[in-house]
């Protein structure tokens, strides 16, 4: 499933449309969406802000999206992380982990993190290569996993340059 499709549903635009329908229904006999839709608006805003907070690729905010920027000390990321409900334990672990990484890097004079660059693509690529090396073995035993892992390391170390690397051979 593509995350982009889910992100379109949980977006600021959908929140705006629902708000228009709620406001259009304020009057006798004009109910389009009642006040009960406010809970949906709150959830959609939260999910949209959560996506924005971990996908910031620009240095500064654009277009009123205060969390869609790099994580800085004075940005709204820290305050948003505090608003996450305690029932979302796994999300809290991730967000607090990001804050710990930020605090450790800040101690080393790194003033910002572009959170879009901190993602799981390398891990997915690694496990994809493990599956490929095992003839599409999607459920390897620990021994098979260890052997495939060793093969990947040896193949990568003994090749002329990294497989699928974005560089040419050095001819000097």
Domain termination residue (choose one: 31, 54, 77):
54
Token pair listed for 143: 């021994």
- Please check whether residue 164 lies inside any domain of the structure: no
DSSP class of 169: P
Residue 125 pLDDT level (bands cut at 50, 70, 90): confident
79 dihedral zone (left: phi>0; alpha: psi -120 to 50; beta):
alpha
> Does 75 share its domain with 33?
no
**Among all chains, which residue has been given the structure tokens 């003994």?**
158
Q: What are phi and psi of 30, to 5 degrees?
A: -115, 25
Q: How large a percentage of the chain has pLDDT more than 70?
A: 81
Question: Domain residues for 109?
Answer: 58-118
**Per-residue pLDDT for 170 more than 50?**
no
- In 19-164, at which residue ranges do the beta strands (DSSP E only) sit? 71-72, 112-113
Distance CA(100)–CA(94), nearest Å, equals 10
> Does 62 share its domain with 114?
yes
> Does 142 share its domain with 108?
no
Q: How many residues does the chain have?
A: 172
Residues with Cβ within 8 Å of 129's Cβ and at least 6 positions away in sequence, in order, are: 152
> Does 32 share its domain with 82?
no
Of residues 6 and 77, more confidence is placed in 77
> Does 125 share its domain with 109?
no
* Closest CA relative to residue 67, chosen from 42, 43, 48: 48
pLDDT at 27: 62
pLDDT at 80: 85
- Please check whether residue 163 lies inside any domain of the structure: no
Domain total of the chain = 3
Q: Are 162 and 153 in contact (CB under 8 A)?
A: no
Of residues 1 and 121, more confidence is placed in 121
**Per-residue pLDDT for 84 more than 50?**
yes
**End-to-end CA, the chain:** 46
């Amino acid at each position: 499933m593509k995350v982009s499709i889910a992100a379109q549903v949980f977006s600021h635009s959908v929140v705006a449309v629902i708000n228009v329908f709620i406001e259009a229904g304020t009057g006798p006999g004009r109910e389009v969406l009642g006040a009960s839709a406010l809970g949906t608006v709150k959830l959609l805003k939260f999910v949209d802000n959560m996506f924005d907070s971990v996908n910031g690729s620009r240095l500064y905010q654009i277009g009123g999206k205060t969390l869609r920027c790099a994580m800085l000390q004075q940005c709204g990321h820290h305050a948003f992380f505090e608003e996450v409900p305690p029932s979302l334990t796994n999300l809290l672990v991730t967000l607090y982990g990001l804050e710990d990484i930020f605090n450790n890097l800040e101690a080393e004079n790194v003033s910002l993190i572009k959170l879009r660059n901190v993602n799981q693509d390398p891990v997915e690529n690694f496990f994809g290569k493990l599956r490929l090396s095992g003839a599409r073995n999607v459920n390897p035993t620990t021994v098979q996993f260890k052997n495939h892992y060793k093969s990947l390391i040896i193949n990568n170390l003994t090749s002329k340059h990294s497989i699928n690397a974005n560089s040419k051979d050095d001819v000097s």
